[in-house]
């Protein structure tokens, strides 16, 4: 039998039929009139995540305060339980991972812990393409230690949305005390070589941490093998934990015993926490970097979501993710030729994360036209369409239909009905 042309609906159907992850699509709440391609901003709700939240509510309803110690998932240990479930996704031992706080809170926590400047070594190295919140937090930490960010924060300059690792390494001067970079750039989707950067940093006695927000749940990591010092992430993107879901952090066990920079009630060793001493006995592992009481109802959905990831396997998720973005690149190249679209993400699998960045002069109005057709990407200034297919629920047909609709929007010029300006929330 002759294989159908890649640009046909039949080919997309064939790919979906042979997809080993196709059954997971049935576990998500998908609007039949919508193609959702914004999973790199907010993942969709699964029936398992919903049930886990309902179970948490039921424990509150039936157990009251005993929910902290009783029930199937006692609240007192939920952060550690979720840390253990997350560990396989990032190549870490369970004791080094905890689900707690938010991305920005965890940046503050770990930078305040690991950034210990001296007169000779006081700068923080970051980049100009990272998410704004990371820079806000780094500037705050510098000011708290008495440094002017204009001098003490060094930002490697990107080019066309990409960072050159050679330039990052060249910027590791003797006065740099700490490096904090994204694993995947939130616009271009470029993957940084975390192993190489870490090895070069450690040669120079520099602590290095990473923001995994745009990689966790889409790209496998080996944080232990790469000897990463620390990492943080959110759980509401590829991990489908829900809006405002609790974040997570990793601390390499070689740093266990270091006092947390921001101590709090849940930084305590569990066995003595209720002694109510005013002298903190920090937990022996990553639990030391918790701060306040866990947000149970914002953590509970992760019990269901992470179970799906551990069942499917992050390697299989990555393989499908790449096939989906490869397919979109192929269709854009062949079907949208002449409409002035360009792919702004790396084409090499080793350098490309779980989403695509597509550039067009009328990106904002095109996004609005797609939304009117029931297709949900997102817009990034100044002229980018970001498309984040999620392996557990997006199909190859979703990709084919999106490009098909996009071709019609461009041919009929319906995008011109919309102002080429972002909405308040983009």
pLDDT in tens, 338-376: 999 999 999 999 999 999 999 999 999 999 999 999 999
Pairing type for strands 342-343 and 248-251 reads unpaired
- Tell whether the torsion through CA atoms of 276, 278, 281 and 286 is positive or negative: positive
Residue 424 has a pLDDT of: 78
CATH number corresponding to 50-311: 3.40.640.10
**How much is the average pLDDT of 10-39?**
97
Model confidence at 426, in pLDDT bands (50, 70, 90)? confident
Residue 409 has a pLDDT of: 97
The average confidence (pLDDT) of the chain is 97
Buried b (16+ CB within 10 A) or exposed e, 277-308: eeebebbebbbbbbbeebbbebbbbbbbbbeb
The three-point CA angle 23-331-37 to 5° equals 50
Q: Residue 225 pLDDT > 70, yes or no?
A: yes
For residues 131 and 152, give the distance between their C-alpha atoms in angstroms, rounded to a whole number. 19
**How much is the average pLDDT of 310-338?**
97
- pLDDT tens track for 169-180: 999 999 999 999
pLDDT cut 90: percent of the chain above it: 97
Each domain of the chain, given as residue ranges in start order, spans: 9-30+314-417, 50-311
CB 344 within 8 A of CB 329: no
Residue 2 has a pLDDT of: 59
Model confidence at 423, in pLDDT bands (50, 70, 90)? confident
Specify the 3-state DSSP secondary structure of 244: coil
The three-point CA angle 189-190-196 to 5° equals 145
Residue 332 has a pLDDT of: 97
Numbered residues of the known binding site? 103-104, 131-134, 211, 214, 236, 265, 293
Numbered residues of the known binding site for pyridoxal 5'-phosphate? 103-104, 131-134, 211, 214, 236, 265, 293
- pLDDT tens track for 101-147: 999 999 999 999 999 999 999 999 999 999 999 999 999 999 999 99
Same fold, 9-30+314-417 and 50-311: no
Q: Which of 315, 399, 316, 311 is nearest to 355 (CA)?
A: 399
Model confidence at 71, in pLDDT bands (50, 70, 90)? confident
Please, is 234 exposed, middle or buried when counting C-beta atoms within 10 Å of its C-beta (0-12, 13-18, 19+)? buried
Model confidence at 422, in pLDDT bands (50, 70, 90)? confident
Q: Does domain 9-30+314-417 have CATH number 3.90.1150.10?
A: yes
For residues 28 and 42, give the distance between their C-alpha atoms in angstroms, rounded to a whole number. 13
Q: Which of 376, 338, 389 is nearest to 360 (CA)?
A: 338
Residue 266 has a pLDDT of: 96
Residue 425 has a pLDDT of: 73
């Amino acid at each position: 039998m002759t294989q159908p042309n890649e640009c046909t609906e039949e080919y997309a159907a064939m790919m979906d039929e042979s997809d080993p992850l196709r059954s997971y699509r049935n576990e998500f709440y998908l609007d039949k009139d919508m193609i959702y391609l914004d999973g790199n901003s907010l993942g969709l709700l699964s029936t398992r995540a919903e049930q886990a939240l309902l179970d948490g509510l039921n424990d509150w309803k039936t157990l009251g305060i005993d929910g902290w110690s009783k029930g199937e998932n006692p609240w007192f240990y939920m952060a550690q339980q979720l840390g253990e479930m997350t560990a396989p996704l990032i190549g870490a031992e369970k004791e080094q991972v905890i689900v707690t706080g938010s991305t920005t809170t965890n940046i503050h926590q770990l930078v305040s812990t690991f950034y210990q400047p001296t007169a000779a070594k006081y700068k923080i190295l970051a980049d100009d393409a990272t998410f704004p919140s990371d820079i806000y937090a780094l500037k705050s930490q510098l000011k708290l230690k008495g440094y002017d960010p204009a001098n003490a924060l060094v930002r490697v300059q990107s080019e066309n949305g990409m960072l050159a690792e050679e330039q990052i390494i060249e910027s590791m001067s003797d006065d740099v005390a700490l490096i904090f970079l994204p694993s995947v750039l939130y616009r271009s989707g470029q993957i940084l070589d975390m192993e190489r950067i870490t090895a070069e940093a450690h040669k120079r006695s520099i602590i290095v941490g990473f923001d995994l927000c745009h990689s966790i749940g889409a790209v496998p990591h080996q944080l232990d093998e790469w000897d990463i010092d620390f990492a943080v992430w959110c759980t509401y993107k590829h991990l489908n934990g829900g809006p405002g879901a609790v974040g997570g952090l990793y601390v390499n066990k070689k740093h266990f015993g270091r006092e947390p920079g921001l101590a709090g009630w849940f930084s305590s060793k569990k066995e003595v926490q209720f002694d109510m001493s005013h002298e903190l006995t920090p937990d022996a592992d990553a639990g030391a970097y918790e701060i306040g009481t866990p947000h149970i109802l914002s953590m509970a959905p992760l019990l269901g979501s992470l179970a799906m990831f551990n069942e499917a396997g992050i390697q299989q998720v990555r393989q499908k993710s790449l096939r989906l973005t490869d397919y979109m690149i192929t269709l854009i190249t062949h079907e949208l030729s002449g409409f002035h679209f360009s792919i702004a993400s790396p084409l090499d699998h080793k350098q490309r994360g779980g989403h695509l960045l597509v550039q067009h002069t009328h990106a904002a109005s095109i996004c609005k036209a797609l939304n009117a057709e029931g297709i949900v990407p997102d817009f990034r200034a100044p002229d980018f369409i970001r498309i984040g297919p999620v392996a557990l629920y997006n199909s190859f047909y979703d990709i084919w239909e999106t490009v098909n609709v996009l071709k019609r929007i461009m041919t009929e010029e319906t995008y011109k009905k919309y102002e080429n300006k972002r909405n308040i929330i983009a």
